[in-house]
Structure 1
């Protein structure tokens, strides 16, 4: 019986090993389709337009290649032109205070000679954010906002950028100087004990204010930070942008949100059946994915300090297994242990009443140097 089972198992392996992988045919027109994504602020706030191309969903790295070297500008009905500056990786920056009583078209000229034009754009004036706040719950901390729509601004899109301060599990204020062959205080610009990280939202938050009484959107959930998240280990900031959408833009963002919910991120591959308000000039039937919106963006920033949510114990997988050495490296052995920078001096060891340490205990850069995961340059907007 065992021999029969073994034979069946081997035949099954042979069957699966001989099967050819299924590779569905993808029409060429679904590849290298221009993707346009952006909400341009009409009152001078820096905003970005992203240009890229769709790629084969079977590509190994699964990303949309950027559209580089394009000429992009916003043209008003009176003929004025407002250029977008290329910032690299398919990002084009718009920073102009434009008249909001005119209509506009976005013009895109790619370096292969093709050009694209948007439908007429009328700036949408976004109402102010009334309030932002946070509340602790069983799962962690929820960040929310309150706003109010009006007949001209009913549908909202919210995006955000997070920044948080953090420390490595093992703190070091010193470094080994191979020329002096001694350990010296680390200069302020080289500090590795305090860093900052930033992240853009990877999901889409949409809401229609007319679903609520008096179009009052109360405590709209923006971000849930779960217990143990490093974001709240020291100090956290979130900059929320509120953008009112025109009626023709709502459908595009709802389809994109469904794609986001299905695939997990706004940076996931886009299906080629998403359309928007951009068309190719040479052939309007050529598919283009994307939606450009124009209007006043409202922003509010919120800070949360560890003292406001304590106790909060961060769990950072990157720091798993970090420890301080049990042995002390004596002065005579500094060069042998610290010159290669495989080990970083962390804790000075003193004899009783001594002024100079007799040696240092140490750890690895992964556990000591926060610049491996962030920057030690404090953001300009940061408040203590």
Structure 2
């Protein structure tokens, strides 16, 4: 690489660093004094890895959620005494090996020990096998957007399945979208022009269904033993005519997990966010062994799972796709940046990648 290209590469990295040093807006939120541990994660009877995220707060605010737990020991144990340790991968995330998967009929609980010796456990959860996904399909729709002439164009993705004849079945749905990357970073020059820096290797951005606005649960109270039809899963944007690749996961969950997620869903609809209400109402199934009176937030579940790939054929969209700006490559001979492995980006080819 010649000196001109090296200089350009250094300036691009500096520009990217400057862009990343923007202080995020932190809205006013209700808070609780005292340190709170937040646990989020689950295992299934499908191949791993399975993930648990640990964060903690000094005040119960959005800003405090940026505080991560490092150096913890995280273990999942079944009712036969078998244990599987999670490995820390950074940013408060802990994962099992890819080979680990739960077994239907077994009961599981999570064991967490913080670096200062405090210990936590989840209440045991019975892993119940999930019914098969019968069909996944999509429908193109255009939704008016206030203040804009162009509607929101996209594809609603639905799922059909059949509930078993047994009563007391509860379900949760997740999805993950993988998008192949051309550029691994976007930089802005002094004149305001934006340019892309190529990835040195294959790379995919990962978009997960996550957060309170993505709670998608139901019970068989009204449909016991019958078909569950047109269960809404996600909306794929009509931002291009290329295929939109998704992995859709159907989970069976316990009644306690259902009530936990349903509470989050109801709080979000009525207040705009789960943190607008005191967290005591969404406590979950995690308890402190060291201090039984300590408030702990979050839920760890053991679920039967069914996962399927699905590609939305966006060539069926009507008219011009919603505009999505893609900057040109860096002028001249562009350097490249390696794909950085994280929870939101990977160089590992998605399991069913069809393109």
Same fold (TM over 0.5): yes
Please say if residues 165 and 236 of structure 1, whose CA atoms lie closer than 8 Å, have aligned partners that are also in contact: no
Number of the residue aligned with 1:144? 158
Larger Rg: 1
Q: Does 1:42 align with 2:42?
A: no
Cα deviation digits, residues 316-348 of structure 1 (max 9, x gap): 2x55xx7x9xxxxxxxxxxxxxxxx96348xxx
Number of the residue aligned with 2:292? 284
Change (3 A) 1:153 1:130: farther
**Aligned with 2:177 (options 128, 148, 162):** 162
Number of the residue aligned with 1:206? 217
Shift of 1:69: 1.1
Cα deviation digits, residues 272-306 of structure 1 (max 9, x gap): 21211111112211111111111221111111234
**Aligned with 2:68 (options 66, 69, 72):** 66
Please say if residues 164 and 235 of structure 1, whose CA atoms lie closer than 8 Å, have aligned partners that are also in contact: no
Please say if residues 54 and 269 of structure 1, whose CA atoms lie closer than 8 Å, have aligned partners that are also in contact: no
Q: Does 1:272 align with 2:276?
A: no
For the aligned residues, what is the CA RMSD? 3.6
**Aligned with 1:215 (options 220, 226, 231):** 226
Shift of 1:166: 7.1
Shift of 1:190: 4.8
SS of equivalent residue, structure 1 residue 54: strand
Shift of 1:62: 5.5
Q: TM-score, normalised by structure 2?
A: 0.69
Please say if residues 107 and 115 of structure 1, whose CA atoms lie closer than 8 Å, have aligned partners that are also in contact: yes
Unaligned 5+ residue runs, structure 2? 1-27, 144-153, 184-197
Shift of 1:204: 1.3
Shift of 1:130: 1.1
Number of the residue aligned with 1:309? 317
Number of residue equivalences: 290
Shift of 1:98: 4.0
Number of the residue aligned with 1:254? 262
Q: Does 1:383 align with 2:354?
A: yes
Q: TM-score, normalised by structure 1?
A: 0.65
Change (3 A) 1:53 1:104: same
2: distance between equivalents of 1:70 and 1:196? 29
1: distance between equivalents of 2:243 and 2:52? 30
Unaligned 5+ residue runs, structure 1? 1-22, 169-187, 325-340, 346-364
Number of the residue aligned with 1:239? 247
Shift of 1:131: 1.1
Shift of 1:116: 0.7
Change (3 A) 1:38 1:313: same
2: distance between equivalents of 1:309 and 1:69? 48
Change (3 A) 1:264 1:50: farther
Please say if residues 148 and 216 of structure 1, whose CA atoms lie closer than 8 Å, have aligned partners that are also in contact: yes
Please say if residues 253 and 301 of structure 2, whose CA atoms lie closer than 8 Å, have aligned partners that are also in contact: yes
Change (3 A) 1:292 1:213: closer
Cα deviation digits, residues 172-222 of structure 1 (max 9, x gap): xxxxxxxxxxxxxxxx9759xx97533111411112233236331101111
Q: Does 1:224 align with 2:195?
A: no
Please say if residues 149 and 210 of structure 1, whose CA atoms lie closer than 8 Å, have aligned partners that are also in contact: no
Change (3 A) 1:129 1:190: same
Cα deviation digits, residues 89-133 of structure 1 (max 9, x gap): 111113423443333322111111100112122112111111111
Number of the residue aligned with 2:108? 104
1: distance between equivalents of 2:345 and 2:123? 41
**Aligned with 2:96 (options 87, 94, 97):** 94
